[in-house]
Structure 1
Amino acid sequence: MQSQQQSMAGPQPAAVPTASGRGGLFAGYQPHAGRHDELLLASGEVRPTWAKFCSLINPLASGEFTKRWNHSQRLIYENGISYSAYGDLDTSARPWDLDALPLLLDEPEWQQVSAGIAQRALVLQLTLADLLGPQRLLSEGVLPPGMLFGHTGFRLPFHGQAPPNGSFLPFYAVDLGRAPDGRWWVMADRTEAPSGMGFALENRVVISRMLPEAFRGCNVERLAPFFIKFKEKLQSLAPHERENPRIAVYTRGPQHENYFEDAYLARYLGYNLVEGDDLAVRDNTVWLKTLDGLRRIDVLLRRPNSQSCDPLEFSDESQLGVAGLLHSARSGEVAVVNPLGSGLVESPVFMAFLPRLCSFLLKQDLQLPGVASWWCGEPSSLDRVLANLDQYVVISAFRTRGNGHGQEREFNQLPIEKRRELIKANPTKYVAQEKLQLSTTPTWEAGTAKPAHLVLRTFAIESDNNYQVLPGGLARTSAPTGDGLLPVPTSHGSKDAWVQCSQPVEQVSLLATREEPVVIRRTTADLPSRVADNIYWLGRYIERIDAAARQLRTFILRLTSESSVGSDTTARLLLRSLAAQGQIEPGFALDDIRRRLPDIETALPRQVFDRQQPGSLRTQVDSMVHTASLVRDRMSTDSWRIMVHIDQTFCESDPSGSMDLTDMLHLLNSLVADLAAIQGLSVESMTRSHVYRFLDLGRRLERGLQTTELLDSCLVEVANPTQDLMEAVVEIADSLMTYRARYRANVQLPAVIDLLVTDESNPRSIAYQLVTLQQQVEELPGNVRKPSYLPHERLILKMLHSVRMLDVVQVCEAFAMGERQALTELIHSLDRDLQGLSRELSLRYLVHAGPSRRMSTTAPADESE
């Protein structure tokens, strides 16, 4: 059995002396004894790697540094950088926890580490190619057969693949930790679908903007060259050597914690962001289902686990997969990165065999060792582990990505005799690893520098028969008080990692060079129907919330007014309308019940912010933000910042009793302004693509519905609407200024109906919505002119005709005389037809097929995503 033993330093002093002269931000910084500290030598002096950085930032003093860091945190907040996306409507996303101080690395040292990472990646790729192919490693006794065939990640369908260019591991990541002697050790290999590269990129953006002088002065190596190689590699993997392959980021969806990273990478690299429901396999080819038809996918950068990617081959419990994806990959019609089954070698059991594999496959010694590991499936290793069990952390030998480490932590908390019994009962299940004393690095906390444990994840991409390593990576920190029960501690924060060069660094852009040909185009046709559906509903939620906020605002103004004649009657009718929409408890609309309920002034804030109330403003905001998160890659940065601001504003609001109606008015005014900003950005900044059309379709249809419902509940159902009530209706419809400019204070029903129903020049009228709907529908995909109109076109024409043929004065005079049928029937028919239009649009453009199902009768795999 081969393994690697850490090179441990000798006894350490009980405390590290405070360095003289380092001062500034690091004055008082006290690292932990017995560990390598990234900032300070054992003598307490600043390491040469940090000297330049300290000289550049110490003059900022604590106040200026804190000010800059507060601005950077604001950027994280505004950009909505989060680790858990808006998949759970019950909780808000947790903001990405980035530290203000970067991790500094020396260029010569990093070159050595990069060479070791490249060698390790090559060994793992050759191992994968053999285990999923000829299996010489088994036949020649390099690896024991029980290690492979007892592995839950080894599946027969993965065997015999021939990925493009023979690349079984084009993308690789590794978790590194530093021992007390200063050497880097591999703590874990990541070969399935490595995550964190997008977060590393976002960390660089934030910290380089916060500390531009230090970033330039330290000659930090740029990340863009790595991403250029990354794109080149993905393009080279396209089957049949297609010149302009279509590449997509295959995400696990917004319910997953890494969805922000997937969306961010897709935007940065210029790729489509797709889910399993967006893809289909026809004739062994993977297609993207778009509004304009099927579009071939050549390369998939996948994020789901291998067993979750194809329900025809594996578990049908996962909704992430694409039926036939594995067969398409085996047929050479699509390149999947990393190939399905590549997670096989990231299990800890391979850590124990890496030195042996490197010697056999490359005839070289392993340059970058892993944490000393022993597989209990070998008798000699089992004896050693059982004899020294108190010195090791025992973990599962066969790792399944996404399952967490809860069971491993519980196992290492058991009494030592119980652990021995469990290992003896099934030794092949366990790997024992030496406890690595992780280094510490300064973090910025509460205005001072404090030590935290460090793990560095970096990434490598195959390039020219070798691997290019990202300079730096995603540094993760954890509390120094960790229990040491896991090989890789749970991280609580992250850092940007700077590799410092001796010479100024050339600036490199990911944008294409001028020499590269550009195909002029005016459209972006790759819009999946799922995305169109979410965009459509985002538009509807924006208008629905806008209407609710305006109605609540008008109600509060009437409720608190003492000067407006008839405001009490108006407030009661508006209250009834709010109850009909689900904004408040229905009992408040009934006089007899309302007397037994709390005062509306006290109850209204709680009703508005009640997440258990299906139609409350808070639930509508939650739905809007959730829907926006589903199309994060289609939204501009400014629009997303506004969306995050709305969500955070509502999260921070306290309806328990401290909020009064004045506070609510302020909040509603802010909400209306934010929604207006989003709508203004869409009108002025969005190209007139299908994304814009479906957003506008949702907005116009919902605005028409909200207007008909407002007219129905506040005017049509009222025998003699007062001037104050009609003025309130016009105010809610955001048309009061126009009305007063035309008619001054003379509020009459015919003028109100004309302005809100038939006036095609008023952007808030029903007629305007119908005209706009007609224009947008004519531009939808596949809308080829035929002898007869399509159902949704006929509905629009029907409504537009009834509105244009309306004699407003005659109908309103009849209404005043008690003959209310004509106006009532018009409003009710418009409401029915608008809802019918929504159904027709969904049936034609937005309907999805059901989930794919596994045809195999084998039991589903035990996976957790």
Structure 2
Amino acid sequence: MIVDRNILFKNYFSGVKNYDEVLKSNMSINPYWEKLLNNLNQIGSKNLISKQNEIDWLMSENGVTYNVYNDPKGMNRAWNLNIVPFILSQNEWEHIEKGIKQRSELLNLILKDIYGKRELIKNEIIPQEVIYAHRGFLRQCDQIQYTTTKHLLIHSVDLSRGPDGQLWVVNDRTQAPSGMGYALENRYSISRVLPNIFKDISIKQPSNFFQDFNQMLLDAAPQNKENPTIVILSPGPHNETYFEHAYLASFLGHPLVYGNDLVVRNGKVWMKSLKELKQVDVILRRVDDVFMDPLELREDSYLGVAGLLEVIRQQNVSIINPIGSGILENSGLIPFMNAICKYFLKEDLILPQIASWWCGQEKERNYVIENLENLVVKRIDRSNRENIFFCEFLNESAIKNLKADIQANPYHFVAQDKISFSTAPDFVNGKLEPRKVMCRMFSVAKNNTYSIMPGGLVRVAAERENLFVSNQRGGISKDFWILTDEPQTNIQNYAWDTSCKIPISDINDLPSNTAENLFWSGRYLGRALVTARFLRMVLNKMNSIQYNNRKSQSDSLHFLFQSLTNITYTFPGFVGKERKEALKNPLNEIQSLMLDKTRVGSFAQTMTSFNNSYYSLRNLWSKDMWRVFDSIQKLWSKFNENKDYSVSELIKLLDRNITRLIAFMGLIEESILVEQGLLLYFIGLQQEQAMMNVEKCRSLLVFNHDKVTQYEILESLLTSHESLNIYRYSYRSYLSVENVIQLILLDKEYPKSLTYQLRRIQKDIDRLPHSESIGKTTQCQIFINEANKKIQSLNVEFLMELNKNESLRQNLDDVLSELSDLLHETSMAISDTYFNHSYQQKQLVNQNFPLS
């Protein structure tokens, strides 16, 4: 069969220089690609463009991100998924699957030997410098025994097509292999957006693999413990693959934790929850080796758990993968892998490797020096901070320097043949283009063998002639198809072991960092909404004065400006000695208060803090919440703090932002149960709204004004509080300070009154886990109880009393000041009781571990 070479394939075939996945050597189509290409033809170029745009939109809407360090576009770059999948035939897959199982088993034996008997070194199978000169070899992990059937429980291998047409091993990843979650999301997204691309094509689904993955986590628990507590340890939201950490936590149903969520006590690892310490049995880590234990490894690490290695030695916790497994990510091992395979398994490697020469051997070093221009050189323990040297592109001076480095430290370097990665079709600008491709495949331990993910993560180069296939360099991903003749179940048909209960069953088991971020996401959201409404009210007032310049309105507006500074704590602003300068052009000051992210107390900084706390909790939130969150980000990205905006433009920005924040608040209650942590969000939200309610009333109700000015200030307060209609319906009278105090501060039934907010905070705090001691209350309970008693003892007449010169309501100011202090003390007490992460053990002797 010949596929029509229409516009989809324009210039594709003529541009193919390397081995291409679609084409045979005689330029005919590989048979197993024909059905896919026919389906693409039937869909048509215009529809494919539309569907590719839909996939791009879906990646953004669902918050599928890959963090690129120092990216000018920002941290959370949307994941790139190309609509055209990558295909392997069933016959080739069976060979690859067998080869990956062999390689995983071989690396498992190497890992066991390196930190055990070290037969490979003793019997001169590998030189000792390959191990001991590698930054991944951790002497602290020597002779540690594990209870699991395998030492290496997860392994990923990067493969690319070699010059002989076979897939060759390029890299191994063994510390914390990434990509499984992205691969699964790729399959979901392609299936949702373009189901007809699968027409008449049967492909293997990853269901069984992920069931094996989950079972491996359960089986890893020490002493075959039933219902083990399994956690996923993440470095945090700024890590490049944080999306995947949160994705797998949500997908597998295990809590996502950070280093300071865990603590070592009595030879065991415990998770700090709101109520008590809960023993952890299995840690699936996404933190690199040297950061895992600041007590024995890198002492400056805040990502790991002090004392963890000693717990591992006592076999009281299982780490996946074991600390020290980074030694296997060692290109210096590649020249010796076939000899190692024969030593341990008495057979040759199934999967070929790139021809490699370790420079620590004289003969090999001389060959490398003589042929350097035709080779690729890298350190045996290369990190992302160190270059790979493509020597054909180096100038004479760079070649000379590299040779000198090799001669000076030969055992640090390995040289490899340059291979031209094969190309596969990528859909770009309405047609197919060949792009260099690399496949990452995954294995997990299963009984005495390994289970291999059918497919995996495929990455292609960002540009047509680009040598680099890397996400950090802008790479693009593909869905990975393994063809089969067997009928497959739905990709979402996952059934975990029902004997294992989900660890987070109620608020008592909530990790302390998660609880803290829930509390602060509520506070930041409350602060953002109150600030936005007050800013909008002030801007609307400025807009109306353009048409009416009565002195009273000007006086009231100046008072509102001062209140804006007081409420947001953005001093000096409109307060103090510099207020005259700010009042010359108040719009500049307000725009700064809105858009300057570096200004403490600004609306922009509050939104940044809210974004950070929300992103840290993304494993808890629904996709609808992410879409609203993403729309807020896109809205703000259009505004530049250095550009001058009109009053109406700023009002429009606030209107749209307020609508989205309210939508977000509504969706939160659909994402997580109150008893699973939503309670902390409610407390934070009410806490912040109550504190800002106090500040607004202190700024706008304490001072006594003339009748007209007072009316305008009261109207402004009620407007910013979204209470003007409620007031008119309730009192049907002229605005008065007395009635406003009654509604905004003392009304027991109005949800936006301070009395109601304080009662709600007290009620919710009483539902938090407390001391087991009978009759003992926490400090946060004591402070909020005192605040409630204070406000319940008040009456309007007392609060309305003026001082001697009748300039201010002193009683009101005193009461609000006291309530402000009590609310602040309540917040501090909540943090001290439930979110204290300050405990840290220190090493007695400083150790220096270079980044690996």
1:826 aligns with 2:815: yes
Q: Is residue 2:88 matched to residue 1:112?
A: no
Are positions 1:190 and 2:178 aligned together?
A: no
Within 1, Cα distance between the matches of 2:501 and 2:359?
58
Shift of 1:92: 4.4
Q: Which amino acid aligns with 1:800?
A: N
Please state whether the residue corresponding to 1:104 is helix, strand or coil: strand
Distance 2:61 2:372 in 1: 49
Matched, 1:275 2:263: no
| Counterpart selection for 2:691 from 700, 705, 708 | 705
TM-superposed CA distance for 1:298, in Å, is 0.8
1:373–1:589 CA distance, 2 compared to 1 (3 A): same
Q: Does 1:688 align with 2:644?
A: no
Matched, 1:634 2:615: no
**Contact 1:24/1:61 (8 A) holds in 2:** no
Q: 2:267 aligns with which of 267, 284, 289?
A: 284
CA contact (8 A) 1:49 1:106 kept: yes
Paired position in structure 2 for 1:803 = 791
Alignment of 1:447 with 2:433, yes or no, is no
Instruction: Say which of 553, 561, 570 aligns to 2:536.
Output: 553
Count of aligned positions: 843
- Counterpart among 575, 600, 611 of residue 597 in structure 2: 611
Per-residue deviation, residues 171-195 of structure 1 (Å, max 9, x unmatched)? 1001111124421111111112111
Counterpart of 1:320? 303
Specify the alignment match of 1:11 in structure 2.
none
Deviations 1:807-838 (A, max 9, x none): 21453265796562222212221111111111
**TM-score, normalised with respect to structure 2:** 0.93
* 1:780 aligns to 2:768 (yes or no): yes
Return the alpha-carbon distance in structure 2 between the equivalents of residues 235 and 489 of structure 1: 33
In the alignment, what sits opposite 2:130?
A: 147
Give 1:457's match in structure 2, choosing from 440, 449, 461. Answer: 440
Map 1:143-182 to 2 at 5 A.
143-182=126-165
Counterpart residue identity of residue 779, structure 2: P
- SS in structure 2 at match of 1:561: helix
Report the Cα distance in structure 1 between the residues aligned to 2:471 and 2:354, rounded to whole angstroms: 11
Give the secondary structure class of the aligned counterpart of 1:130.
Answer: helix
Matches within 5 A, 1:616-765: 616-657=602-643, 659-683=645-669, 686-689=672-675, 691-720=677-706, 722-744=710-732, 746-765=734-753
Secondary structure at 1:116 match in 2: helix
Separation in 2 of the partners of 1:680 and 1:422? Answer: 61
Does the CA contact (< 8 Å) of 1:544 and 1:702 recur in 2?
yes
Asked if 2 retains the 8 angstrom alpha-carbon contact of 1:87 and 1:256, the reply is no
Inter-partner Cα distance in structure 2 for 1:838 and 1:21: 68
Structure 1: distance between partners of 2:470 and 2:506: 50
Q: CA deviation at 1:215?
A: 3.0
Give the root-mean-square deviation of aligned CA atoms: 2.9
Tell me if 1:207 matches 2:195.
Answer: no
Q: Distance in 2 between matches of 1:520 and 1:626?
A: 25
Q: CA deviation at 1:847?
A: 1.5
Percent of aligned pairs with the same amino acid: 31
What is the CA distance between 1:611 and its match in structure 2? 1.8
- Distance (Å, rounded) in 1 between the aligned partners of 2:389 and 2:561: 56
Q: Is the 8 A contact 1:558 1:568 kept in 2?
A: no
Does structure 1 retain, via aligned residues, the 8 Å contact 2:771–2:777? no
Counterpart in the other structure of 1:12 = none
- The alpha-carbon distance between structure 1 residues 582 and 514, as it changes in their structure 2 partners (threshold 3 A), is closer
- TM-score in terms of structure 1 length: 0.92
Residue 830 of structure 2 is aligned to residue 841 of structure 1: yes
1:376-455 aligned at under 5 Å gives the runs: 376-399=359-382, 402-406=383-387, 408=389, 414-455=397-438
- The 10-residue stretch of structure 1 (640-649 or 697-706) with the greater mean CA deviation from structure 2: 640-649
Matched, 1:241 2:229: no
Matches within 5 A, 1:2-17: none
Following TM superposition, by how much is the alpha carbon of 1:513 offset from its aligned partner in structure 2, in angstroms?
A: 6.7
Query: How big is the shift at 1:718?
Result: 4.4
Q: How far apart are the structure 2 equivalents of 1:802 and 1:297?
A: 44
Pair 1:502–1:684, CA change in 2 (3 A): closer
> How far off its partner does 1:398 sit?
2.8
Q: Which amino acid aligns with 1:664?
A: L
**Residues 518/96 of structure 1: CA separation in 2 closer, same or farther (3 Å cut):** closer
Contact 1:372 1:434 in 2 (8 A): yes
Q: 1:489 to 1:588 in 2, by over 3 A?
A: closer
Q: Which amino acid aligns with 2:831?
A: S
Q: Classify 1:599/1:446 alpha carbon distance in 2 versus 1 (closer, same or farther; 3 Å).
A: farther
* Aligned-partner Cα distance in 2 for 1:86–1:620: 23
Conservation of the 8 A alpha-carbon contact between 1:191 and 1:343: yes
Q: Which amino acid aligns with 2:684?
A: G
Match of 1:126 in 2: 109
How far residue 263 of structure 1 moved from its aligned partner, in angstroms, is 1.0
Structure 1 pair 236/686, CA: closer, same or farther in 2 (3 Å)? closer
1:272 CA displacement: 1.2
Conserved? CA contact 1:582–1:616, under 8 Å:
yes
Shift in Å, 1:266? 0.8
Instruction: Tell me whether 424-433 or 677-686 shows the greater mean CA deviation.
Output: 677-686
Q: Secondary structure at the match of 2:433?
A: strand
- The residue type paired with residue 672 of structure 1 is I
Most deviating of 380-389 and 567-576? 567-576
Paired residue type of 2:45 = S
Query: Structure 1 residues 844 and 79 mapped into 2: Cα distance closer, same or farther (>3 Å)?
Result: same
Q: Distance in 2 between matches of 1:293 and 1:59?
A: 60
Query: What is the CA–CA distance in structure 2 between the aligned matches of 1:195 and 1:441, rounded to whole Å?
Result: 22
CA, structure 1 residues 273+769, in 2 after alignment: closer, same or farther (shift >3 Å)?
same
Asked whether 1:573 is paired with 2:559, we answer yes
Q: Give yes or no for contact 1:478–1:489 (8 Å, CA) kept in 2.
A: no
Change (3 A) 1:594 1:517: closer
1:10 aligned residue: none
Equivalent positions of 1:524-603 (< 5 A) are 524-562=507-545, 566-582=552-568, 586-588=572-574, 594=580, 599-601=585-587
Structure 1 residues 860 and 589, CA, compared in 2 at 3 Å: closer, same or farther?
A: same
Distance change (3 Å), C-alpha of 1:490 and 1:71 = closer
* TM-aligned CA deviation for residue 588 of structure 1: 4.4
Of 292, 298, 302, the match for 1:309: 292
Q: Which secondary structure state, in structure 2, belongs to the residue aligned with residue 322 of structure 1?
A: coil
Query: Is this contact kept in 2: 1:85–1:255, CA < 8 A?
Result: no
Deviations for 1:680-711, whole angstroms, at most 9, x for unmatched residues?
22345532225112111111111011111111
Residue of structure 1 in register with 2:66 after alignment = 83
| Aligned CA distance change for structure 1 residues 515 and 348 (closer, same or farther; 3 Å) | closer
Query: Kindly tell me: are residues 216 and 743 of structure 1, through their superposed partners in 2, closer, same or farther at Cα, counting changes over 3 Å?
Result: farther
CA distance change for structure 1 residues 282 and 443 in 2, over 3 Å: closer, same or farther?
A: same
Q: For 1:844 and 1:149, locate their aligned partners in 2 and report how far apart those are by CA, in whole Å.
A: 46
- Choose 308-317 or 368-377, whichever is displaced more: 308-317
Q: Give 1:345 deviation, angstroms.
A: 1.7
1:59 correspondence with 2:33:
no
Cα distance in structure 1, aligned partners of 2:532 and 2:502? 45
> What is the CA–CA distance in structure 2 between the aligned matches of 1:626 and 1:194, rounded to whole Å?
25
Cα offset, 1:245, TM superposition: 1.0
In 1, Cα distance between the equivalents of 2:466 and 2:505? 57
Amino acid of the structure 1 residue aligned with 2:166? R
- Structure 2: distance between partners of 1:528 and 1:339: 23
Q: Could you tell me how far apart the structure 1 residues matched to 2:318 and 2:409 are? A: 38
| 2:800 pairs with one of 812, 821, 842 | 812
